[in-house]
Amino acid sequence: MSINDEKMKESLMFNQGGQSESYPFARDTMQNGTAEAVVYNSKKLEDAVHQMGVKIKHHEENIKFLKAQKNGLDNSILDMQVALGNYEAASKSGSENEELSHVQSEEETIEHMLKHGKSAAGIWYQLKSQYGTQASHLPLMKDVLGIVAMLGKVDDDNLSRLLSDYLGLETMLAIVCKTYDGVKALETYDKESHINKTSGLHGLGASIGRPLDGRFLVICLEKLRPYAGEIIADDPQRRLNILKPRLPNGESPPGFLGFAVNMVNIDSVNLYCATSAGYGLRETLFYNLFSRLHVYKTREDMLQALPCIRDGAISLDGGKINHIGVFSGKSEIDVKFPKSSGRSNLPQNYFEIKREMKEMKWKKERTVEDMQREQALLDHARFNFDIKKQEYLKFLAQSSSYATQLQAGGERLTR
């Protein structure tokens, strides 16, 4: 075998190791050219394939960046839609009647609560009305924060009815205590584990001619597992920074208005440190009552969002899905959250928010277009890469076959 044949064999063995690629018609190249030409052409193809791989990675990184940008815009747009939606709902009744409406709503809630006069909530509120501020100093009452129905307010009457219906009458009338000692003080037992009707709420009810009728629900804040996430920065209502829902395709569900836990307005006194651990009512009471309950504009929106609903959902037209996936219709209860004043919750820069939201929607449209272009370029680059890969595999097969022939021919010449 000649020296040139030996060099060709070494070049082919180098290529078979996967270090470079060559043209598909390798047999002709090696028959008509030198070993140096083979190596040169292999290196040329190797560089071309490498550049294709770099292009693919570049397009993939661009798409990843654009998706993150689009998700950020979606979240900002959704936050603005919720803020504007709350403003528009609150402004329908007219600003001059807001304060009056707020007072009337509170009186209506108390009136309906007192209709359940023999309930624990009715007895507690009658005592509070009778004794005023002194009621909080009574040993039985000092640990009680209030009744669920009176610890939160909602901007819109319709939403208030829906949230109240979701919780149910028993929960709306539940007494909320800070500590477990306060819970134990509301109902005591004798040695035979029978209820002591002369102490606790039973004794107080009997003393005012309204004996407690039936069971009652008490919620102990210190026994609740608080929300473990972040609070929205600079939000005067200390709303929870819960991750926005996403459909399987990555889009925000249409008609999503927000999380119920963030739609309840809480008095400033109960926003901070309602428990000894420093948690407010939103992180404890309302997060445990509503969890991540979604609120949608319509039933249709709610049903389309089923894949991303985990803890239930309601819609403003009366649809309801509880946390175990049971669908139900609208059924009102008489005790509901009072309507908030709304005036302190309105965004001061309403038109600025609308302008920013319009700009963000425009940016989102441009981002989606960029994503589509990058995806087309990525598909084209992958197609070309697959073609070169097939040429490379064909070259390996041809070069391996020809190398075998050269080796066999060399052995015959040696003999």
* Residue 2 DSSP SS3: coil
CA distances from 116 to 125, 172, 210, 212, 249 (A): 11, 12, 10, 10, 48
pLDDT of residue 12: 38
Closest by CA to 262, choosing from 283, 279, 278, 234, is 283
Side-chain-side CA neighbours of residue 55 (13 Å) = 18
Q: Which helix (H) or strand (E) holds 393?
A: helix 350-414
78 C-beta neighbours (distance < 10 Å), count: 18
pLDDT of residue 135: 56
pLDDT of residue 22: 40
16-32 residue pLDDT tens = 333 334 444 444 555 54
- DSSP characters for 247-303? -TTSPPPTTEEEEGGGSEE--HHHHS-SSTTS--TIIIIIHHHHTT-EEESSHHHHH
178 C-beta neighbours (distance < 10 Å), count: 18
pLDDT of residue 334: 77
- List the domains of the chain with CATH numbers: 3-55+388-414 (no CATH), 117-334 (3.30.70.1620)
Residues 313, 257: Cα–Cα separation, whole Å: 11
Spans in the chain with pLDDT lower than 70:
1-43, 86-104, 117, 131-139, 208, 323-332, 341-352, 395-415
> How would you write 299-363 as a 3-class SS string?
HHHHHHCHHHCCCCEEECCCCEECCCCCEECCCCCCCCCCECCCHHHCCCCHHHHHHHHHHHHHH
Q: What is the DSSP letter of 149?
A: G
pLDDT of residue 324: 57
pLDDT of residue 236: 84
404-415 residue pLDDT tens = 665 666 555 555
pLDDT of residue 163: 93
Side-chain-side CA neighbours of residue 80 (13 Å) = 19
Residues 256, 252: Cα–Cα separation, whole Å: 8
Closest by CA to 396, choosing from 28, 13, 35, 32, is 13
Q: What is the pTM of this model?
A: 0.60
